[in-house]
Amino acid sequence: MGCLCSKATSEEGKVEQSETVERPLKDYSVQLIAPTPSLRDDFVTEVGGGGDGAEVSVRRSSRTASKANVGNNGSKNEDHQRGATLGLGASGRQTVMSRIVSMPHGAQGEQTAAGWPSWLTSVAGDAIKGWVPRRADSFEKLDKIGQGTYSSVYKARDLETGKIVALKKVRFVNMDPESVRFMAREIYILRRLDHPNVMKLEGLVTSRMSCSLYLVFEYMEHDLAGLAATRGIKFTEPQIKCYMQQLLRGLEYCHSRGVLHRDIKGSNLLLDNNGALKIGDFGLATFYEPDQNQALTSRVVTLWYRAPELLLGSTEYGVSIDLWSTGCILAEMYAGKPIMPGRTEVEQMHKIFKLCGSPSEEFWKKTKLPLATSFKPQQPYKRRIADTFKDVPPSALELIEKLLAIEPETRGSAASALSSEFFSTHPLPCDPSDLPKYRPSKEFDAKLRDEEKRRKADAIKGRGPESVRRGSRDTKAPSPEFNAQGEGQRNRKTTGHKYMSQRDTVSSFAMEPHGGARSNGYSHCSTMVHPSAVGSSLNKTAGSTNRPELRSQRSHMPQAAADLLSSSSKKKETLAGKESRTGYVPKNRIHCSGPLVPPGGNLEDMLKEHERQIQQAVRKARAR
């Protein structure tokens, strides 16, 4: 789709008002081949209930005012003002959020008249219905504060209010309608959520002639992954409980609104300086209906936090997948490091079995999950959570056991987790306002610190300007997981942690990442199914295999290993065909991000073969 964009002429620091199509195209040489949850199908669930564009359209200072509107049929006329709504900010200064105003009859023409670009109105009309875009020149860009798979996040000042905000700039693949639709789903879902523990979308920035889109959020100083990875920061028990309580409250709310997050992990849990935790990044979220057998893609959730049923290929799942990820985070906070850092899906499954035990014979007999035959171990694995976390307080252990149950049905719900003894036993969760105030500690900050160190080390080793240059280029757009390898992580890994027994320390894999990324033994793989995900600069070297998951893996892998994975992954085409029939994967796309699971294999053999191949590829890459 074309877009008549003139080159940005804005002053330094201002958000670009428009961009040429060519600039993003350079990064997006290869089209995504990945399972993409169908936005359309999700929309069907909600459109109609959402009304005629008359839902929340004015951001008010009072949560309750807008809360009343969420999910309503658009009958809240008090929010239907075509002008400014004034509220009092914390400082008492008048806060003007004037640009998000109501457009009750959001037909495409009207949306265009309101200032939306046609590439957006044509495929994402429902997502922007009733809103008017903010102008780019009403923000001043300050710093880059985050880098996601398909977005860059900036700290900015709202010039109308003086408020500091986060602007998430979304990347698109060639303005491909599919990637626009994908982003539209995130907006659509975010607009329906309003809770103190869920990031609130405050507005959108674009213009009729623009090819870019920014999502406006309140600014959050930290994310949990970054904080946890910061040297010297060790969470106290009341603090862990406080974070967990907020996370579960946010999740309970999302689930009650029929939303699965599907990417719960530390870097998506944002924290402000008042100790508030908010769930962010709804890029993989979807609507679900508990009582309907609705087929969803199983290729969601960052690998380390991915539930076993997803690894086994389940397409009918529910809130339990978010609860699994939550269990991983709880255990991680006690362990001081990620508890199951698998490099591939096979290895992830193996780590899960080793820690949580393998399913019963009964399960294997009955299950119809597509990858069950491949993943069934020859010998059953015993559950070892209690051994592994023997120093964790009993009420915490009980909750970890519950959330990391192999059978999804026994994980309970966010509400049941909130009423567990963990939160009522002493020490009680502290009040968010009692939490320590930290210096900025985003995953992104940790990455920058680490990158700087590496660059200096390279210079000292005399690798010369070429390697330094290459390293810095590669970090311009790392995968999000790339950021997780901060020095704190490395530090925590070597020192171990009182809550996780030493023998359970996850074995490290000394791979030198391609392009000079650091190697700390943790590859933080992710399945990112957003079509725009092909934009990472890491992919520039990746030839024609820019599948999101492979990209994430290869961000920690030499090229040869990445190539190996990509060729093996072609075996996944069969499954892709199946998913596409469910309507959740575009028909012309092949489901290629592969767990290297040959049909009819067995877990142990696959693991051995897998390890051998990776090692071989690594050796080759090193010898180059």
Nearer residue to ligand ATP within complex by CB, 34 or 103: 34
Residue closer to ligand ATP, measured from CB, 268 or 315: 268
Instruction: State in angstroms the smallest separation of the CB of 37 from ligand ATP.
Output: 14
Using CB under 6 A as the binding rule, whether residue 166 contacts ligand ATP is answered as: yes
Per rule CB under 6 A, is residue 251 in the interface with ligand ATP?
A: no
Name the residue nearer to ligand ATP (CB basis): 282 or 389.
282
* Nearest-approach distance from CB 148 to ligand ATP, in angstroms: 2
Query: Residue from 59, 60, 76, 168 that binds ligand ATP (CB under 6 A)?
Result: 168
DSSP-based helix, strand, coil % in the chain, nearest 5: 45, 10, 45
**Burial of residue 574, with CB atoms counted within 10 A of its CB: 0-12 exposed, 13-18 middle, 19 or more buried:** exposed
Query: Has 79 been annotated as catalytic?
Result: no
Residues 96 to 135 in contact with ligand ATP, rule: CB under 6 A: none
Q: Which of 27, 194, 263, 458 is catalytic?
A: 263
Q: Which of 327, 480, 488, 516 binds ligand ATP (CB under 6 A)?
A: 480
Closest by CA position to 310, among listed 237, 261, 365, 372: 372
Could you give the C-alpha distances from 107 to 47, 53, 112, 547, in angstroms and in order? 14, 9, 9, 35
H/E element, 484? none
**Least distance (Å) from ligand ATP to the CB of residue 336?**
20
Answer yes or no whether residue 446 interacts with ligand ATP by CB under 6 A: no
Q: Residue 421, Cβ neighbours under 10 Å: how many?
A: 11
Binding segment toward ligand ATP, per CB under 6 A, in 121-129, 249-257, 263-271, 425-433: 263-271
Complex with ligand ATP: residue 127 or 400, whichever CB lies closer: 127
Is 234 annotated to bind a ligand? Reply is: no
Which of 444, 482, 499, 522 contacts ligand ATP by CB under 6 A?
444
CB 287 within 8 A of CB 261: no
283 part of the interface to ligand ATP, by CB under 6 A: yes
Residue 269 or residue 331: which is nearer to ligand ATP going by CB? 269
Measure the CA–CA gap between 9 and 20, rounded to whole angstroms: 11
Question: What is the end-to-end Cα distance of the chain in Å, rounded?
Answer: 41
Provide the 8-state DSSP code for 553. Answer: H
| Nearer residue to ligand ATP within complex by CB, 223 or 458 | 223
217 touches ligand ATP by CB under 6 A: yes
Size of the site for ligand ATP (CB under 6 A): 26
- Closest contact distance (angstroms) between CB of 445 and ligand ATP is 9
Q: What's the rounded Cα separation, in Å, for the pair 597 and 32?
A: 21
Q: Is 172 in the site for ligand ATP (CB under 6 A)?
A: no
Q: Which residues contact 167 (CB under 8 A, 6 or more apart)?
A: 15, 139, 141, 153, 154, 155, 156, 205, 214, 215, 216, 217
Q: What is the x/- site pattern for ligand ATP, positions 16-45, by CB under 6 A?
A: ------------------------------
The footprint of ligand ATP on residues 143-162 (CB under 6 A) is 145-146, 148-151, 153
CA–CA distance, 1 with 119 (Å, rounded to integer): 7
Residue tagged 């049909």 (tokens): 599
Answer for which of 42, 281, 309, 451 binds ligand ATP (CB under 6 A) is: 281
Nearest CA-CA partner of 317 in 257, 369, 251, 256: 369
Query: Which pair of structure tokens corresponds to residue 265?
Result: 């992990």
Q: How far is the CB of 128 from ligand ATP (least distance, A)?
A: 19
Piece of 81-89, 240-248, 264-272, 561-569 that binds ligand ATP (CB under 6 A): 264-272
Q: Which of residues 223-242 bind ligand ATP (CB under 6 A)?
A: 223
268 binds ligand ATP (CB under 6 A): yes
Long-range CB contacts (< 8 A, 24+ apart) of 390-393? 390/501, 391/498, 391/499, 391/500, 391/501, 392/331, 392/334, 392/499, 393/237, 393/425
Helices (H), 569-602: 573-582
Q: Could you give the 3-state DSSP secondary structure of residue 371?
A: coil
CB nearest ligand ATP: which residue? Answer: 148
Among residues 85, 207, 230, 267, the one that binds ligand ATP under rule CB under 6 A: 267
Q: Which of 366, 367, 349 is nearest to 358 (CA)?
A: 349
Task: Write the binding mask 362 to 401 for ligand ATP: x where contact by CB under 6 A, - elsewhere.
Answer: ----------------------------------------
Q: Which is nearer to ligand ATP, 33 or 225 (CB)?
A: 225
Residue 280 touches ligand ATP, criterion: CB under 6 A:
yes
Asked if 528 and 561 count as a contact pair (C-beta separation under 8 A), the reply is no
**Contact between 558 and ligand ATP (CB under 6 A)?**
no
Distances (CA, A) of 355 to 522, 583, 612: 17, 35, 23
Query: Contact positions toward ligand ATP, by CB under 6 A?
Result: 145-146, 148-151, 153, 166, 168, 199, 217, 219-220, 223, 263, 267-268, 270, 280-281, 283, 442-444, 480, 528
Positions marked catalytic: 263
Binding residues for ATP are 168
Residues tagged in the binding site annotation = 168
